[in-house]
Structure 1
Amino acid sequence: MRGTLYIVAAPSGAGKSSIVNAVLERDPGIRLSVSFTSRAPRPGERDGQHYHFVSAAEFQRMIDAGDFFEYALVHGDWKGTARQSVEPQLAAGHDVLLEIDWQGAAQVRAKVPDAVSVFILPPSRQALEQRMRKRGQDSDAVIARRLAAAREEMSHYAEFDYVIVNEVFDAAVDEMCAVFIASRLRLARQQARQRGLIEALVAPDVPDVP
């Protein structure tokens, strides 16, 4: 049975990566697709773990070659998901999670209409700014630009199937896991997964022949 494609998007600072990492530790049935980006690594980021870091020229070459499942220009840098990171795993029956932005999510939904999408919101604008500043990596000017971009990103929340407010981290992780569980229990997937059991349960009784 083909796997399910999950999309998780959020503005910068909403805690998306932390929630996703916690969910992946709980649910070994989901595989994270590591995106490509043309930006430089931030402190603590590792190539192949957080992103595949490539030059802008290499990213453009991959676009021209049709290597991407989805891609978008985000905050002046390219981000994208390679086809080989998604399609073979879905075909093999594995659930795949894409941690992407709303632009990439729109491209994915056009290609995979039954993808399950989740948008994560912060509890307030003030909390979002505090989380950005807590990183200690960006200047005031950069933070101001990121906050403006976040407002634009958050305006697209209604395009997603589920919305989670990351006010209490553990509760947000529980809610994300609940989305995955509910998705696997949808009628069509259970009909495919439990076909033999369902057919046996609803089969008409055969009268005993004396």
Structure 2
Amino acid sequence: MQEMASQRLLLLLALLVLALIAATAAVAGDGGGGSGVEAKPPDDVAAAVAAATMDVQARRLPLRQNVKHLARATDAAAAAVAMSVAVAVADAVWEEIRSAGEASEEHLSIFKSSLEALFGKNMVRACKILDEGGVRRVTGAPSGRSLFLVMGESKRKEEYICFPEHLCTCYSFFYDIVGRGEQLCCKHQLAARLAEAVSKHQEVEVTDEALAHMLAKL
């Protein structure tokens, strides 16, 4: 079973690489105008994409840098397409982690490698936060609504309010994700999603009123 899950993860990564290449080529083809004739990228564009792809593979850049690098070879719109593909692949990887349950060290290392390919250094930082016990899930009673508190890496050890799939109150979320659109999520969201997937977080129960006061800080 673990071997099958590992094979699925490797397939997902292969599909991601193919999708990145296809996205850039497709945008290059669409740029030729609405003539009604099936558009094909010129030879020089195709060669540029191929060269950029080989360079990306050789340098083993994180996903966001792959997207930026390939987009330069054709059109910036390809980056948005590739990011959408990356989100789908990332969601599939998270689902694999949840469904795996108890896994061997080898299996977990494949999950980690897959996520590092998608998120780069942020994944390494998220693992550090998780290893240091920096993730708490706060649940309000009796509603059952919850949020995550994730510890930062600064000396102040500030905690950030985090919704793994939607929001984090850290600076990086608003600057790199909302403002510049260069990342899928911040390290705190990654830490929260990973902690939830492997059940490695502290559980804290508060009243709904206390939870509302926390949310009022957003």
Range class of TM-score, shorter chain: under 0.3
Relative to the length of structure 2, the TM-score reads 0.22
The structure whose residues are more often helix, as a share, is: 2
The structure whose residues are more often strand, as a share, is: 1
Relative to the length of structure 1, the TM-score reads 0.23
Higher relative contact order (CA 8 A, sep 6+): 1
